[in-house]
Amino acid sequence: MTTLAATVDTPAAPSRRRVRAFLAIPQGLAGSILLVLLLAVVIIGPFVAPYGENQIEGAPLQGPGGQFWLGTDTYGRDIFSRLLYGGGSVILLPLISISLAMLVAVAIGLLAGYLGGWLDLIVTRIIDVALAIPSYLTALVVVSAFGTSGTVVVVTVAVIYAPYIIRVLRAATQTISPREFVLAARARGERLRWILFREILPNIGPTLLVEIALRLTYAVMFIASLSFLGLGVQPPSPNWGVMVAENRLLLLVHPAGVIVPALMIGVLAIAVNLIADALTQFFGDRLHGRLMV
Amino acid sequence: MSASVDTQRGAGLIRAENLSIAYGSGPHVTQVLHEVTLALAPGTITGLAGESGSGKSTLALALMGYRPSGQQVLSGRVDLDGSRVTGSSVRALHKLWGARLAYMPQDTSTSLNPALTIGAHFVEVLRRRGGRRTAAQRAAGWMGRVGIPEPRLALRRYPHQFSGGQQQRIALALALCLEPEVLILDEPTTGLDVVTQAQVNRLIVALARDTGVAALYVSHNLALLATVCDDLAIMYAGQIVEHGPVREVYRAPRHPYTSALISAVPSISASAPPRGIPGLARTSAATGECGFLDRCPLRVDGCASPIPLVEVSDGHVARCIRTAEVPAPGVQAARTAADREPGDPSVLITVTELTCQFQRRGGGAALRAVDGVSVTVTAGRTLGIAGESGSGKSTLLKAMAGLVRPTEGRMSFRGTDLHGLAAGRPLAVRKAIQIVFQNPDATLNPRHTIGQSMERPLRLFAPRTGRTERHRLIVEMMQQVQLSPVLLERYPRDLSGGQRQRVAIARSLLAEPEVLLCDEVTSALDVSVQASIIELLIGLRDQRRLALVFVTHDLGVLRSIADDAVIMQNGQVRETGPVAGVLAHPTDPYTVRLIDAVPHPETDLPAAPHHGTLHEPATES
């Protein structure tokens, strides 16, 4: 037994090694760089914008030039400044939405997966129904009933995405629940809360993380689409989706006003998606022992 | 037959010579075989025994010429009848495989294609010689030979329509149908129940004799090899440490490891508990010294230099410089319950007419996993529950632990009724009844450190214990199960299976239970580790007057740890009584069948050819 200490070396600073291993995956590196750049734009943007978000600065529909880098829109507002202001809601709304969905989904998914029985039956039936309804239709109905505020959009998107997350978490919980360490906890008479959150949840953490990243990608696109359709963030707010909608009629005359905000949404979605991809690979490698972190 | 063991000089039909094999590349090379020389002669079954990581499967595959990706042959060669196998082209190997070299794997669920009929499997093999036309006839012949009823009809069926034992028979027929000269069997009966295992092994021996094939039988089960093989080779740390006629090797081993390994095998006839081997097995090949050095009781200074194979008698070699001093496999003085300190034989758990019924999916009759079982658990004694898979033994144990709610009958602890589910039992009762599980990979939460796992029962059952006191108790317990407290900071994946099982036992003991329920706690472990866990449990039982309930499928293990035995089949108790009596004079026909199926080296050893019946009815289910 004395030889043990020598044979197993103590892992040094595991979190740093994990980050390094994650960034060693090409998608992880690319996604992280893109995301950091975008966040920089969104956070610093409002402070460095040459003009205000809704200030009418010049003649409408000017082309890109020295004074207005990306030109002006129909009202003569500077598109570049609006771009710098408009990222906050594009990133924040999906984040809040998915966090909300996650809170509900973790509770329901864990309970249904662990307890099974009639609760599980009811939950799965509801999910089946929920997944059968087209998400745009749900959004349309809710928004036309409750109006278009940020809160409504956030809650609607949370309600739409929660069933997907519940389904994944429920399945993951079901594979962990019959494991012997969970049985041991049950035999000890541990409380339900301990079993769910201390025994099971850490073991489905990877699944949860990947799911968060993936749903975030969809939510970014979805909320931007809703804004484009006029169901989400309302003008004159400078949301990127709203900007695409406002300027879309001028696409041929004045392409920058549509393409650049659309591009920003695309890059954000791609960045989050790359990270989701890298997380999947990272946890898969760790699971199969290809990575010792 | 026995003169064919000349590992050093003799020809043999197939022969590995100074074979060294490594995995990985660059700085991560792990050598798994070191200068292994092994020859197989026609008409002989050579057993290859070793614990996990000893390199036995690598050697078996190397004899086939199979080279998995990432593997490199460092030196040496394998020859078949004088022509080279190692390094042959894939095309050349394909000509050899099946026709001259045959392989029978452990797991038919992956070796038989579920989408093809058995007939299609045969055609695949047989078309290479003699054409398709005669294939059906020859296939049916072989199916008959391995004891599959209605061979012609059977060829039209799919693998899943056969039982596990029948699938292994079919795999054997497929391996032998081209009449190969060499047959490699890699743990061919490990996944099977003991009765089926015995039937398939009889068939393997009979067919090997019949066809005169040179067979290598790889297994971790030493007792089984002793009854099946002519020669026995023992592997440790990538080397063959001993090789000779099975009787000599098993009865009078000349390598300390062989002796220790045999002492670790639990025997159905001797009540002496098996003895574990101290220390951990090495996971890479020993290249410059004796691999067993750090665990050997006989080590001297000379052991650190390369040890040659020493011929101790005709055809019997051992890789040790002190072959003459190796002790015979030890038999400890038997200790029975009567010899132990007498205490009050208080009854702790009483189970009366217990039934656990499960509703089958999609309706149908309910499955009675446990069907009207009554047992009593007494302080300071071990109740052993044995039976084949599906006998309900584990369900019974889980019911006692409060993990499966019984449908009928009652259980009581110290006279008061036991609630069907653990959550419904008072704290004191949950504390008193602890359970340890079979699978060392799953018994500890992979996301908790060993320390966190150990801490839990203390927090739950002794919440007033302070932080330092908790730590002291945990460290003390770690030492009692012979684990270094260094491990407390580690995660389960850093530990070996045996170590994890010790942690699981320690965790249960921290609750200071009166009853310890053990569900096949040793069946996933190597035999030497199993022996040390059994030693540990027996010691703890006697020291703390624990009541043990030990569920096992292995009658040898049952004999070595139990005082009282319960034999179960299909959810019902077939026989019960003191373990020595039940195993020596069984009265129930099922018990008799079970005991007969256990390999019994003590009596079966005289290597008279086995008379296996070729056409025995396939009774296994």
Task: Report the alpha-carbon distance of residue B580 to residue B116 in Å, rounded.
Answer: 48
The DSSP symbol for B436 reads E
Residues A196-228 have pLDDT tens digits of: 999 999 999 888 888 888 898 888 888 888 888
Q: pLDDT for B313-340, tens place per residue?
A: 888 999 988 888 888 886 544 445 455 6
* Residue A14 is assigned to a structural domain of this protein: no
**pLDDT band (50, 70, 90) for residue A287:** low
Supply A68's token pair: 């207005």
Angle made by CA atoms A235, A236, A238, in degrees to the nearest 5:
90
In a domain, A25, yes or no: no
Average pLDDT, chain A: 84
Give, in order, the Cα–Cα distances in Å from B352 to each of B345, B380, B417, B594. 19, 21, 11, 26
Q: Residue count of chain A, please give it.
A: 293
pLDDT digits (tens, 9 = 90+) for B179-222: 899 999 998 888 788 888 888 999 999 999 999 999 999 998 88
- Find the DSSP H helices in B65-134: 90-96, 108-111, 118-126
Report pLDDT digits (tens) over B455-500: 999 999 988 888 999 999 999 999 888 888 889 988 898 888 888 9
Domains held by chain A: number: 1
DSSP annotation of A200? I
**Tally: H helices and E strands in chain A:** 13, 0
Per-residue pLDDT tens digits for A12-40: 456 788 888 888 889 999 999 999 998 88
Please report the beta strands in B359-489, taking only residues with DSSP state E, as ranges in sequence order.
Answer: 367-378, 382-386, 408-413, 416-417, 433-436
Q: b vs e for B250-287, b when ≥16 Cβ sit within 10 Å of the residue's Cβ? A: bebbbbbbbbbbbbbbbbbbebbbbbbbebbbbebbbe
Of B425, B442, B457, the CB nearest to A180: B442
In a domain, A152, yes or no: yes
DSSP state for residue A290 in the 8-state scheme:
S
The full DSSP string for B333-353 is PP--TTTSPP----EEEEEEE
Q: Which residue has the higher pLDDT, B569 or A8?
A: B569
Percent pLDDT > 90 in chain B is: 46
Å from B424 to nearest chain A CA?
Answer: 8
Please give the average per-residue pLDDT across B537-554, as a whole number. Answer: 92
- Across B2-24, b (16+ Cβ under 10 Å) vs e yields bebbbbeeeebbbbbeebbbbbe
Q: How far is CA A202 from the centre of its chain?
A: 20
Residue B537 in tokens:
């449990």
Cβ–Cβ < 8 Å for B313, B371: no
Q: What is the DSSP letter of B606?
A: S
CA distance A281 to chain B (A): 19
Looking at the DSSP bridge assignments, the partners of residue B372 are none
**Per mean pLDDT, which range of A107-121, A127-141, B24-38, B531-545 is the poorest?**
B24-38
- When pLDDT is averaged across residues B537-563 and rounded to a whole number, the result is 92
Q: What is the CATH number of domain B2-100+180-325?
A: 3.40.50.300
Query: Coil, strand or helix: which one is B124?
Result: helix
Flag whether A93 is in a domain.
yes
A256 inside domain? yes
Q: Do B422 and A10 touch (CB under 8 A)?
A: no
3-state class of B500 per DSSP?
A: helix
Chain A neighbors of B442, CB-CB under 8 A: 179-181
- Percent of chain A exceeding pLDDT 70 equals 92
Indicate whether A143 belongs to any domain: yes
Residue that the structure tokens 């541990």 belong to = A190
> Mean of the per-residue pLDDT values for chain B?
86
User: What is the model's pLDDT at position B569?
Assistant: 93
Mean pLDDT of B373-388: 93
Q: Are B400 and B519 a contacting pair, CB within 8 Å? A: no
pLDDT class of B362 with cuts at 50, 70, 90: low
Contact A3 B425 (CB under 8 A): no
Confidence of residue A43 (pLDDT cuts 50, 70, 90): confident
**Longest pairwise C-alpha distance within chain A:** 82
B280 contact partners, CB below 8 Å, separation of at least 6: A3, A4, A7, B496
Is A181 in contact with B445 (Cβ distance < 8 A)?
yes
* B31 DSSP β-pair partners: B22
> Are the beta carbons of B430 and A202 separated by less than 8 Å?
no
ipTM of predicted complex: 0.77
Task: Report residue B106 as tokens.
Answer: 């452990």
Report phi then psi at B162, rounded to 5. -110, 155
Q: How far apart are CA B226 and CA B201, in angstroms?
A: 12
The shortest CB-CB distance from B401 to any of A3, A181, A187 is to A187
Residue B382's pLDDT band, with cuts at 50, 70 and 90, is very high
CATH architecture of the region B347-596: 3-Layer(aba) Sandwich (3.40)
Q: In whole angstroms, what is the distance from residue B582 CA to residue B570 CA? A: 19
Within 8 A by CB and 6+ apart from B413, the residues are B348, B349, B429, B432, B433, B515
Question: Strand, helix or coil at B567?
Answer: strand
Residues of B with CB under 8 A from a CB of A: 279-280, 294, 398, 401-403, 422-423, 425, 427, 430, 433-435, 437-439, 442-448, 453, 456-457, 460, 482-484, 486-487, 489-490, 494, 504, 507, 511
Give B467: exposed, middle or buried? Use CB within 10 Å, 0-12, 13-18, 19+: exposed
Cα B247 from Cα B230, distance rounded (Å): 8
Interface size A-B, in CB pairs within 8 Å, comes to: 74
pLDDT given at position B546:
92
List of chain A residues whose C-beta atoms are within 8 Å of the C-beta of residue B430: 187-189
**Domain(s) of CATH 3.40.50.300: residues in chain B:** 2-100+180-325, 347-596
Structure tokens at B178: 């081209």
pLDDT, mean of residues B255-279: 84
Confidence of residue B107 (pLDDT cuts 50, 70, 90): confident
Q: What is the mean pLDDT of residues B342-360?
A: 84
Residue ranges in B217-368 assigned as alpha helix (H): 222-228, 246-251, 256-263
Range of the domain at A230: 30-46+54-59+68-287
Inside any domain, residue A3: no
Residue A117: CATH number of its domain: 1.10.3720.10
- Give CB contacts under 8 A, 24+ apart, made by B360-366: none
